[in-house]
Amino acid sequence: MLGRVSLQLPACLLVHRLQSVLNAAARLIYHLRPHDHITDALATLHWLRVPVRVQYKIAVLTYKVLNDSAPRYLGPLVAVADLPGRRALRSASTNRLVIPPIKLSTVGSRAFPVAAAQVLNGLPSHRHHCRLSGVN
């Protein structure tokens, strides 16, 4: 029953609830009152805020896919923009990912192929020079 309810809630509400749980855990660990600031406690625990943690997890999983250390079924979901055999472009060495077209505006941008490309392409250019092997 809980699974059905959580799937019907908007993503922003789920993120807010999860952040509230993390804040409550930090308050419990450090014996903070409800109106004390929580930012320092989260930083001391090395806990990221939920939206940043989601982006971090997507970036790590994308890096693993690009370096063949993730499950094989995720490989076809991520496409590199500068594949061998294409015309040489100025952006050929940027390791940018192709952002697939979105069919559903409600959940399409949260799909792994779209989110992975957006997160990785949003990184600074000096972070894109990772070893790429066998990505189709």
pLDDT digits (tens, 9 = 90+) for 60-88: 998 898 888 888 888 888 877 665 555 55
Tell me, yes or no, whether 60 and 127 share the same domain: yes
Tell me, yes or no, whether 60 and 91 share the same domain: yes
Tell me, yes or no, whether 87 and 118 share the same domain: yes
- What is the reported pTM? 0.72
Tell me, yes or no, whether 7 and 23 share the same domain: yes
Q: How many domains does the chain contain in total?
A: 2
Range of the domain at 11: 1-47
Tell me, yes or no, whether 119 and 105 share the same domain: yes
Give pLDDT < 50 ranges for the chain: 1-7, 133-136
Tell me, yes or no, whether 37 and 57 share the same domain: no
Tell me, yes or no, whether 61 and 42 share the same domain: no
* Reduced 3-state DSSP string for the chain: CHHHHHHHCCHHHHHHHHHHHHHHHHHHHHCCCCCCCCHHHHHHCCCCCHHHHHHHHHHHHHHHHHCCCCCHHHHHHCCECCCCCCCCCCCCCCCCECCCCCCCCCCHHHCHHHHHHHHHHCCCHHHCCCCCCCCC
Tell me, yes or no, whether 92 and 35 share the same domain: no
